Amino acid sequence: MVTRTSIRLLYSILFILHARAFIHPIEIRGKHFVDSFTEQPFFIKGLDYQPGGSSRVDGKQDPLSDPQKCARDIMLFQQLGINTIRVYSLNPDLNHDVCMTMLAAAGIYLFLDVNSPLQNQHLNRYEPWSTYSEPYLQHVFKLIEQFSHYNNTLGFFAGNEVVNDGRSAQTSPPYLKALVGDMKQYIARHSPRPIPVGYSAVDDLKFRVSLARYLECYDANNKFNDVDFYGVNSYQWCGQQTFQTSGYDKLVDAYREYSKPVFFSEFGCNEVLPRQFQEVEALYSKEMYTVFSGGLVYEFNQEANNYGLVDSDAEGNIKLLPDFDTLKKVYGKVHMPTAEDLQRGLEKDRAAAMAVSSKSRCVQQYDNLEITIAVPNLANSMIRNGVQVEPGSYVDLSEDKLRTTYKIFDVSGKEILKGSRVEVVEVFDGSNLAKMRKLRRARYRNGAATSFPTSAIVLTTIGIIELLFQFSVI
């Protein structure tokens, strides 16, 4: 029997869901990212984001702790049309709920590095045994514990260019592989959903293949220590280039048979100015999308290295730089490959299609790498018991949180976007109910209910809604 109380309950549920961000978690299937609900391939179209550089992370602030600055920058992310950002350093003892909710509401995902320049928060590439410690692992696990509760956390980077020369190649690889295993075990035990772990590599011919293969390989003694994805930092397309003259054809060949998703974790070149971002068209073309899953432009904020799209003054006001408008136009023209595009591409690219079955066991030697160093097992207790940190949670977004008090100026110095707000594009609505209900029941039938990729509040609410379905309220 349908009662007024049950109807009021339904309206209350829908109101709550409208007020909170809802964004589909991204999964890995084969060597591509996939939207867990639409089942369409997910191609990364984004940028690297670390305002002020890593040194701006401390006990009081980091890039995702100030809602006003987040609103300011997320409005600009939406202007660029991106779907993903990468953040290099965060403090898990700060609150990131508002900024992560705002990103989710804007339809934007996060790749998060688990390291920072601060003491006990990174691996020393030349003496990793001196920094691979319980305090370091606690920092890593706290970030995982906090950010695994946000649906728009796309993945974690275990390191960025840790192996970048001959010396680091003789010391760091086993520690990187051990760290990947630690992170994946912690996620398997404590995260409400699977979240992939990967590595961001310097594009050096000495290590391009060997390090990728070592981090990909399957260790019979540890089923967790292979990366789930692989990021490549590439700066080789400079000025007027083609797919062949840039060397992108060789990059594709290098990773064609890789069994994991591969993407540009950093890309761009400022040796020829102004930047034209011609590589973007190539990145999402049929020549690349069977192998590469998009990429992240380096970088949003102007720093001393002159790669920025925007510049900020001492008061936090933003001025757009010429590269912002250029990238906006280029990203606006991108055709994101569909499932049909990808299927057709893989039918022609048989090597890429078969790559998912080419996963290999680890061998005793990899070119230019030292992999025989024994890494102490320091993580077991924390993996078993967990770490204490406030878990992330989506929050209600009031109108004032979606607006910023900072000013934004165009290249000529004219104030723009005055009074604008973050556009909420990802909210739960009734059109998703049937799809979610079907998927949830399918997962129950397959015995995978505990891994359903949705935050606890949405799971609970869906359960209530399904009860109302049974009483024909919906």
Is 390 part of the annotated catalytic residue set?
Answer: no
CB 222 within 8 A of CB 179: no
Considering 27, 145, 216, 266, which one is annotated as catalytic?
266
Length of the chain: 474
Backbone angles phi, psi at 468, to 5 degrees: -70, -30
| Residues 361-388 pLDDT 10s | 999 999 999 999 999 999 999 999 999 9
Strand arrangement of the beta sheet that strand 310-312 belongs to = 310-312, 318-320, 408-409, 415-416
Q: How confident is the model at residue 446 (pLDDT cuts 50, 70, 90)?
A: very low
Cα-only R_g, the chain: 22
> Which CATH number applies to 26-385: 3.40.50.300, 3.40.50.2000, 3.20.20.80, 3.30.67.10?
3.20.20.80
Cα–Cα distance measured from residue 388 to residue 390, given in angstroms and rounded to the nearest whole number: 7
Range with the poorest average pLDDT among 82-86, 133-137, 434-438: 434-438
**Residue 417: per-residue pLDDT:** 84
**Residue 54: per-residue pLDDT:** 64
Backbone angles phi, psi at 390, to 5 degrees: -70, 115
Is 266 part of the annotated catalytic residue set?
Answer: yes
| Residues 203-243 pLDDT 10s | 999 999 999 999 999 988 888 999 999 999 999 999 999 99
DSSP string, 107-135: T-EEEEE---SSTTSS--SS-GGGT-SHH
| Residues 249-288 pLDDT 10s | 999 999 999 999 999 999 999 999 999 999 999 999 999 9
For residue 428, pLDDT beyond 50: no
Cα–Cα distance measured from residue 373 to residue 356, given in angstroms and rounded to the nearest whole number: 29
CA distances from 22 to 152, 204, 401, 461 (A): 9, 39, 17, 12
Token pair of 291, please? Answer: 């192998």
For residue 40, pLDDT beyond 80: yes
DSSP string, 208-220: TTHHHHHHHSBBT
- Model confidence, pTM: 0.88
Amino acid letter, residue 42: F
Cα–Cα distance measured from residue 81 to residue 86, given in angstroms and rounded to the nearest whole number: 15
For 265, how many CA atoms within 13 A lie in the half-sphere containing its CB? 28
In 239-320, alpha helices (H):
248-255, 279-283
Considering 161, 216, 279, 299, which one is annotated as catalytic?
161
Residue range 398-412: average pLDDT? 92
Answer left, alpha or beta for residue 368, where phi above 0 means left and psi between -120 and 50 means alpha. Answer: left
Residues above pLDDT 70, as percent of the chain: 85
Token pair of 2, please? Answer: 């349908």
